[in-house]
Amino acid sequence: MTATAGLLATFAAAPAEAAMTASISSISQCNSSGSCSGSITGGTGIAHDTIQITAKESSALLDPSPQWVRVSVRPNTSSPFTCIAQWSTNSKSFSASTKWDTNKYPSSGANGCTAGSTPQNGDLTSNGSIQIQVTSYNGSTTAASSAVTINLNNPPTPPAWAADPSVSGASKRAPVVTLKWDKSPEPDLQEYRFLRTDPSGNTKQYPVSATNYSAQGCSFDGTVYTCYDTDFPSTGFGGTYHYALTAYRSSPSQADTCYYPNQQTPCIGASSSDVRQVSIVEPSPSPTPTTGSGGGTGGGGTGGGNTTTASPAVPTRKPCRTAACRVTGNPERSFRGPVRALRWRQAPGSAAGRAAPTRGSSGCPSPPGSSCL
């Protein structure tokens, strides 16, 4: 047997090696410092913000060397895969990792991607399940891994105020605080909540549906939400109120729930650190009229209140109805005996005369120079 024939016989006897394969070696959760260590389990694993994906490719000895390896993602089985990262390589045993901010799909052509654009390029992701896949290409054959499903659970962007809160109607004892904030950009927003802390330090939260906002008396112009806080008592509402905003989006986790649509929808929220305040001035109570007598001063007039005092009544003089009254001019005067005739006494040194008598201030007629007996 020749040497060549012996070599061919050896290859024929050797078992066939596997063809080119592509696989996902691992998916890890990264923290805020950039360290990636927590493993995300396919199927039920929950991820947020930045994750790290490790791709692996291997080729058989007789297979052509690969030209590139790619990591792609899609939101569901009916959507095309969008490239996250791509590497050029001719290694038949290739491994590389890439980090992806799961809040947004990469733009077309980013991170070395040569794949065509997709509808997801540059869009914000929705929370829920996504599929990740690794593919490799050697010039004639494409190998694709099984798609691995994980679940995104990213918080929304904290809402931002569009204007300071403003108050109206306080002078009429019906205060209304107008609140305006910008729409958060995520596609799966469920609701907003404004939180109010009153002057006593008590905090209430008021949920507003992101889609059915009119049910809560709010409006939306496509950019800005406008709502009205009217939850005030008829008295005792004066003081400074603080307002904060929170946004909620859908979530695969049951850690929290939204009020809308049925208080059972799993949600994840994010609060704004921008707390705004508004002061409400309560008008003074209306003055209550009071009556008094003898020139009273309504409690001394030192209380500072708006108390009014009525003028005392003017007594009326009783008419004369008796002879004694007609004589004395006093309605209360009476005689027990018959009325005496009036006699005129001549004053010393006065001339006698018959001038008609006149009535003096006492009520009795008295001619000049005479006195009434």
Q: What is the mean pLDDT of the chain?
A: 81
Q: Which amino acid is at 77?
A: T
Residues of the chain with CATH 2.60.40.10: 161-280
Strand partners, 130: 150
CA angle 343, 349, 354 (to 5 degrees): 45
Detail the DSSP E strand segments found in 42-187: 46-47, 50-58, 68-74, 82-88, 93-101, 128-137, 142-144, 148-152, 161-168, 176-182
**Per-residue exposure over 226-239, b if at least 16 CB sit within 10 Å of its own CB, e if not:** bbebeebeeeebee
- Please state which CATH number belongs to domain 17-152: 2.60.40.1940
C-alpha span between 208 and 217 (Å, rounded): 9
Every domain range in the chain assigned CATH 2.60.40.1940: 17-152
Q: Would you state the pLDDT for residue 315? A: 43
In DSSP notation, 135-156 reads EEE-SS-EEEPPPEEEEE-PPP
pLDDT tens string 81-136: 999 999 999 999 999 999 999 999 999 999 999 999 999 999 999 999 999 999 99
What whole-number percentage of the chain has pLDDT above 90?
A: 63
Tens of pLDDT, residue by residue over 45-96, are 999 999 999 999 999 888 899 999 999 999 999 999 999 999 999 999 999 9
- What whole-number distance in Å separates Cα of residue 208 and Cα of residue 218? 8
pLDDT band at 8 (very low <50, low <70, confident <90, very high): very low
C-alpha 49/C-alpha 42 separation (Å) is 17
Select 161-280's CATH number: 3.40.50.150, 3.40.50.300, 2.115.10.20, 2.60.40.10.
2.60.40.10
Could you tell me the pTM of the whole model? 0.69
Residue 307: exposure state from Cβ atoms within 10 A (0-12, 13-18, ≥19):
middle
